[in-house]
């Protein structure tokens, strides 16, 4: 029997070490800790800020961290051994949707506007103007444009590649992509080391705020309500501590629900801006959290879904999201052999664990694991759920659809690809 608080027999709260990176979308973890959602479920969570995604992965492998914020594709890459480690990591929960943007240097934007003044005014903007710039640079013998992303296996890379690809630009040939740590992005842009970037907030805002660049498109505009960060754990830890895992998931889920109440976003900005977390001025963090996408020093556009943490079943780890990332890893030649896409996706993404936590909180959860992406340009009702759910639009900016049951057929549609596998081999493997 549990004794009263403070008594000698009080059960010690289980300590869980959780890693995060100083980005606005670490909010669910920080809020869960700072607003007592972890405590409520009997956990003492110690949050560790890590300077690199590689650290997050390795510290999970080493058991120094029990769980961590991670880029969804990192887990897939590791499962496939693309990172040289082949770790059995799982994602029982998505930490949120959207949250990134593509920003180009002020000079590059001027060049785009000069060569294609009409296309740079459209929303969502296409990369057509960039195509003109790349052509012009090639003709005059100037070096290729350089873009920064945060990790080779990152939503950022696939978003950038997808956006460029739709305009006929091959991310692997027509531009140079390199990894730059987010905090170093403003300086790299200022020093002309890079011409553009795809990173998470608050770094687009910081770059624009300093007059260094112009944000051209948000992740939400590229693919409405698309996946990004997940809560990652090793399979081993999850198996060994099923109760702690469920408590952890419940704490994060409640924090996500809290975060999506509009009246809480300002308070959330104050909390996560703190020195131990994102360590940035409150106003810088608040803008995107409150749905303002700053595109220029003196211009913002309203994007209420810039960060989505809870609504639209944002925490649910869809296998179709994982399958889309795998499709892009294939498309750009990162995966060099045919793989059983759906099986790999299902081995990493664990909706079963999510449902258990949601049910305990009486929160609605989808009863299906995957869906066709790109079918909805407005919010819609999902009946395949424990209680009817409103899901958000899931449209790709170029209007394409992604059927996770037919990745080979999907990849066949693209003109710009760097496939290393034959699509009929892939279809066979994925059958």
Which residues, 6 or more positions from 97, have their beta carbon under 8 angstroms from its beta carbon?
A: 220, 225, 226, 227, 228, 305, 307, 308, 309, 312, 314, 392
| Closest distance of CB 53 from another protein, Å | 6
| Closest distance of CB 368 from another protein, Å | 32
Residues from 138 through 157 that contact another protein (CB under 8 A): 149-153, 157
Query: Per CB under 8 A, which region of 51-59, 127-135, 348-356, 369-377 contacts another protein?
Result: 51-59
Cα separation, 140 vs 129, in Å, equals: 17
How large is the C-alpha radius of gyration of the chain?
A: 21
Closer of 32 and 171 to another protein (Cβ): 171
Closer of 18 and 252 to another protein (Cβ): 18
Cα separation, 367 vs 344, in Å, equals: 20
Query: Per CB under 8 A, which region of 110-118, 187-195, 256-264, 423-431 contacts another protein?
Result: 187-195
Rounded to the nearest 10 degrees, the angle between the axes of helix 53-62 and helix 72-79 is 50
- Name the maximum alpha-carbon separation found in the chain: 78
| Binding of residue 85 to another protein (CB under 8 A) | yes
User: Which candidate, 328, 231, 333, 303, places its Cα nearest to that of 26?
Assistant: 231
Cα separation, 266 vs 286, in Å, equals: 6
| Binding of residue 300 to another protein (CB under 8 A) | no
Closer of 236 and 405 to another protein (Cβ): 236
| Binding of residue 184 to another protein (CB under 8 A) | yes
Closer of 63 and 262 to another protein (Cβ): 63
| Binding of residue 360 to another protein (CB under 8 A) | no
Cα separation, 27 vs 277, in Å, equals: 9
| Binding of residue 419 to another protein (CB under 8 A) | no
Binding mask 258-297 for another protein (x = CB under 8 A): -----------------x---xxxx-x-------------
| Binding of residue 180 to another protein (CB under 8 A) | yes
| Binding of residue 82 to another protein (CB under 8 A) | yes
| Binding of residue 105 to another protein (CB under 8 A) | no
H-helix segments, 178-299: 185-190, 203-209, 219-222, 235-240, 242-259, 265-272, 282-289
Q: What is the SS3 string spanning 64-120?
A: CCCEEEEEHHHHHHHHCCCCCCCCCEEEEEECCEECEEEEEEHHHHHHHHHHCCCHH
| Binding of residue 54 to another protein (CB under 8 A) | yes
Among 334, 349, 370, 430, binds another protein (CB under 8 A): 334
- Binding-site ranges for another protein (CB under 8 A): 51-55, 58-59, 61-64, 82-86, 149-153, 157, 176-181, 183-184, 186-188, 191, 193, 206, 210, 275, 279-282, 284, 334
């Amino acid at each position: 029997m549990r004794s009263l608080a403070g008594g000698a027999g009080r059960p010690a709260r289980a300590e869980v070490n959780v890693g995060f990176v100083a980005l606005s979308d670490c909010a669910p973890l920080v809020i869960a800790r700072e607003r007592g959602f972890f405590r409520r479920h009997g956990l003492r969570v110690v949050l560790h800020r890590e300077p690199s995604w590689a650290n997050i992965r390795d510290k999970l492998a080493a058991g120094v961290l029990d769980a961590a914020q991670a880029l969804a594709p990192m887990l897939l890459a590791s499962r496939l051994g693309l990172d040289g480690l082949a770790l059995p990591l799982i994602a029982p929960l998505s930490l949120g949707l959207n949250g990134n943007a593509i920003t180009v240097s002020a000079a590059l934007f001027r060049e785009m506007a000069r060569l294609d003044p009409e296309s740079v005014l459209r929303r969502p903007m296409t990369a057509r103007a960039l195509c003109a710039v790349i052509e012009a640079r090639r003709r005059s013998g100037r070096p290729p444009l350089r873009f920064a992303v945060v990790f080779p296996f990152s939503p950022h890379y696939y978003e950038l590649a997808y956006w460029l690809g739709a305009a006929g630009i091959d991310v692997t040939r027509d531009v140079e992509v390199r990894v730059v740590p987010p905090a170093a992005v403003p300086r790299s842009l200022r020093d002309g080391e890079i011409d553009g970037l795809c990173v998470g907030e608050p770094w687009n805002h910081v770059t624009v705020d300093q007059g260094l660049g112009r944000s051209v498109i948000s992740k939400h505009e590229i693919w409405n309500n698309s996946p990004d960060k997940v809560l990652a754990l090793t399979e081993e830890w999850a198996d060994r501590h099923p109760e702690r895992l469920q408590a952890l998931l419940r704490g994060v889920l409640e924090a996500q629900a809290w975060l999506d109440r509009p009246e809480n976003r300002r308070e959330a900005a104050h909390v996560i801006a703190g020195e131990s977390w994102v360590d940035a001025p409150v106003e810088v963090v608040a803008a995107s959290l409150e749905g303002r996408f700053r595109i220029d020093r003196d211009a913002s556009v309203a994007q209420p879904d810039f960060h989505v943490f809870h609504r639209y079943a944002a925490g649910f780890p869809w296998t179709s999201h994982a399958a889309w990332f795998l499709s892009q890893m294939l498309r750009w030649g990162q995966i060099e052999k045919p793989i059983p896409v759906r099986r790999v996706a299902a081995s990493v993404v664990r909706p079963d664990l999510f449902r258990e936590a949601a049910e305990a909180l009486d929160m609605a959860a989808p009863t299906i694991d995957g869906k066709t992406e790109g079918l909805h340009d407005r919010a819609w009702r999902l009946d395949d759920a424990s209680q009817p759910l409103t899901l958000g639009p899931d449209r790709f900016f170029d209007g394409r659809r992604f059927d996770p049951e037919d990745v080979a057929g999907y990849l066949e549609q693209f003109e710009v690809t760097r496939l290393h596998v034959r699509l009929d081999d892939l279809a066979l493997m994925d059958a």
